[in-house]
Structure 1
């Protein structure tokens, strides 16, 4: 998958010695997802409306409020995500 408009967003410590998780946002040029089954078991795209519905229906749970993943999601979503957390 090719992406563009890549920008750094944040970072946080990772639970491996001397490791750091970096968070970037980007725009995908192609909506097709090609997964490495050794890395990622499942992935899909959400519109904001679909994401809100999945949260409301309990299909998804948001990452912890202190995580960089939550920060990325809320930046894309446009505000706080109210839900159960992982």
Structure 2
């Protein structure tokens, strides 16, 4: 956005967020938030805190939301959300340990799902769905994740 009087370019502030899809063998960790459409499961996500890297945020959000440890964090892609001014950055991660313990204020349910038997998912246009579809493609032998 440029000032019409002087041409100064102003860059809007954005709030970075991360999304993490955890893979364990042929299973994906999916969760339900009370804010989701009823019955829909997705990957874990949360906002980056001040002074935190994307990677640190991914590890923290997974610990906070489901009590798991992850390893081998791999970038997938990002998606801009101009309203409400956020940038979602998606990652794959491998399961590294722990038992699922959902944080009740953020997660209604979480569980491991075979990539061939998934619950209802977000719409295909969403980054979450693209991340899940890419993981399923890779697990089916098609690459992509």
TM-score norm. by structure 1 comes to: 0.68
Name whichever structure is richer in helix by fraction.
Answer: 1
2:54 alignment partner in structure 1: none
The equivalences for 1:3-42 within 5 A come to 3-14=70-81, 16-30=83-97, 32-42=99-109
The equivalences for 1:4-83 within 5 A come to 4-14=71-81, 16-30=83-97, 32-51=99-118, 60-78=119-137
Can you give the 5+ residue segments of structure 1 that lack an aligned partner in the other structure? 52-59, 80-86
Name whichever structure is richer in strand by fraction.
Answer: 2
Q: Secondary structure at the match of 1:44?
A: strand
Contact 2:69–2:98, Cα closer than 8 Å, also in 1: no
Aligned length: 71
Can you give the 5+ residue segments of structure 2 that lack an aligned partner in the other structure? 1-67, 139-145
Q: Which has the larger radius of gyration?
A: 2
Query: Aligned Cα RMSD in Å?
Result: 2.0
Q: Quote the Cα distance in structure 2 between the aligned partners of 1:61 and 1:76.
A: 16
Q: Quote the Cα distance in structure 2 between the aligned partners of 1:42 and 1:5.
A: 24
How far off its partner does 1:62 sit?
Answer: 2.5
Q: Deviations over 1:8-52 (max 9, x none)?
A: 11122347532112211100112621211111111111112332x
TM-score norm. by structure 2 comes to: 0.43
Q: Which has the higher contact order (CA 8 A, sep 6+)?
A: 2
